[in-house]
Amino acid sequence: KDIITPLEQLMVEKEGYLQKAKIADGGKKLRKNWSTSWIVLSNQKIEFYKESKQQALSNLKTGQKPECLDLCGAHIEWTKEKSSRKNVFQGLLWHCQDGKMEFHPQDVHKAITTVSGNEFLLQSDIDFIILDWFHAIKNAIDRLPKD
Binding site for ligand I3S (CB under 6 A): 31-32, 34, 83-85
The answer to whether the CB of 84 falls within 8 A of the CB of 125 is no
Residue number with CB closer to ligand I3S (103 or 133): 133
The answer to whether the CB of 89 falls within 8 A of the CB of 134 is yes
Residue number with CB closer to ligand I3S (22 or 45): 22
Residue number with CB closer to ligand I3S (28 or 31): 31
Question: DSSP secondary structure string, 83-100?
Answer: -SSSSEEEEEEEE-BTTB
Q: How far apart are CA 5 and CA 2, in angstroms?
A: 10
* Minimum CB–partner distance for residue 134 and ligand I3S (Å): 17
* Minimum CB–partner distance for residue 20 and ligand I3S (Å): 11
